[in-house]
Chain A
């Protein structure tokens, strides 16, 4: 009767099993520091340009769009606050994470998927290495460290983008923009702006690794895993942010 639930439940169970082993391995030897650094470079440095670009333009767009609404109330001077709150709380973490999910969840799934179908993962196991320790845990650690840092950069460049519009088109002074943008931020905003990308990073890394490690069906299977990883990671980013928002909104009230 409930056969249709069997596969999703199995998938969730396997995902939780992989996640558990990946977290447990953080505290177990051997530690593959080289792999962690390599992944930090791939994810962090590799995504820096695109995250910076999108961060900057999201600030620009935010300032442009909101200026019209604020002008109705003669409150264009508050543009720094709007840009700051929106970016730090929500847009910065979500946009940076979606970009990294698109870029790196797919990269991880396709890399591990290719390793799976060419029996490199079996070879690793046969040659005395735990593939979760060697492949999953370094990606998890690297992503969890790097994504919050990328988010900070995206937030800052978004504020710079907002300032660019505010100064050049809205005649708002540098002092006014930056002081309102800075003063409006509370610890709660900073906390959720950092907690969110940290949780998103865990989801992106584990989802990418899960679909990569469970690839079957040759090169077509690699394509399917890659697509699934991006879609599932992106959906989970929105689900998590929707679940966290009420919590942080209640905390601040």
Chain B
């Protein structure tokens, strides 16, 4: 009889009733000789925030793409909401992906669709069972666009919008299904500081309104600082300082595919490592 070997992904699981939102267990990925992810292991629980910093090519984007099975790792295990992602067929991943919202680095908005059609896309394609009615889709699209303050762009095409507006439409599309995990890939890249702050405020608002787990890849320390120290106050409707956000926000610093540093913002700032220091001060990238 073949012995049943323990699943490394399961062996890392903490004894909680709810499975972790995301679990990486010794994940490795390389493209030819170039390592993209090396022995990557971590666990993320519901409501937590991860800010991923690191140099270009350090594996940040691959971390997000492997999380939802867009890129398959060479070895190791990844599970989303307790479901194994690795080794599954593309069609078997659609259900679990529907619980995740993604903002891509390049936006990923469909050029040939209007803003409204782009935002409606997940609602029409990721429903389990019966498709929502056109009225319901319309209402949720308007709500989501209103959330990013772009309800007036319904009939425009992405090419007619500025970079910051496209990013905001991308956020509206990422959160329209109320996902339990949202992945943001460099949401402020290439934007001016004011627009970048607007985007981060929207991400904080989306996170705190839905209590969604959030992973944000970024080059800017300031983005992580805001995520770790501010929250959305539904009573005042403002983003305000709240130290308790630090408890649920962890920082990753990646280097050549390795998880080089993991810790709180205070630990990040206190680190004396020269590589970590590069990402731990305002204006760093």
- Could you tell me which A residues sit within 8 Å of B by CB distance? 114-115, 117-120, 122-130
Contact = CB atoms under 8 A, between A and B. Distances in A.
B115 to A, nearest CB: 14
A123 B108 contact: yes
Nearest to B170: A123
Nearest to B185: A119
Given A123-B102, A129-B125, A130-B91, 10 more contacts: A120-B108, A122-B104, A125-B90, A126-B97, A126-B102, A127-B97, A127-B126, A128-B125, A128-B126, A130-B90
A126 B90 contact: no
B12 interface: no
Contacts of B122: 127-128
Which 6 A/B pairs are nearest by Cβ-Cβ distance? A123-B108, A119-B104, A119-B108, A128-B125, A119-B106, A128-B126
B211 interface: no
A123 B97 contact: no
Contacts of A115: 111
B98 interface: yes
A127 B121 contact: yes
A231 to B, nearest CB: 25
Main secondary structure of the interface of A (DSSP, over half): helix
A114 B108 CA distance: 11
8 contacts: A118-B106, A118-B107, A118-B111, A119-B106, A119-B107, A120-B111, A128-B98, A129-B125
Contacts of B98: 128
Contacts of B121: 127
Interface in B201-235: none
Contact of B70 (A120, A125, A128): A125
Contact of A126 (B68, B106, B109, B110): B68
Please tell me the size bucket of the interface on B: 20 to 34
Contacts of B104: 119, 122-123
B140 interface: no
A127 to B, nearest CB: 5
A42 to B, nearest CB: 12
A117 B70 contact: no
Contacts of B68: 126
Contacts of B91: 130
Contacts of A117: 106
B108 A118 contact: yes
A241 to B, nearest CB: 34
Nearest to A126: B102
B94 to A, nearest CB: 5
Contacts of A126: 68, 70, 97, 100, 102, 108
Contacts of A120: 108-111
A250 B86 CA distance: 53
A120 B125 CA distance: 15
A118 B70 CA distance: 15
A125 B71 CA distance: 11
B105 interface: yes
Contacts of B278: none
Contacts of A118: 106-108, 111
A29 B97 CA distance: 20
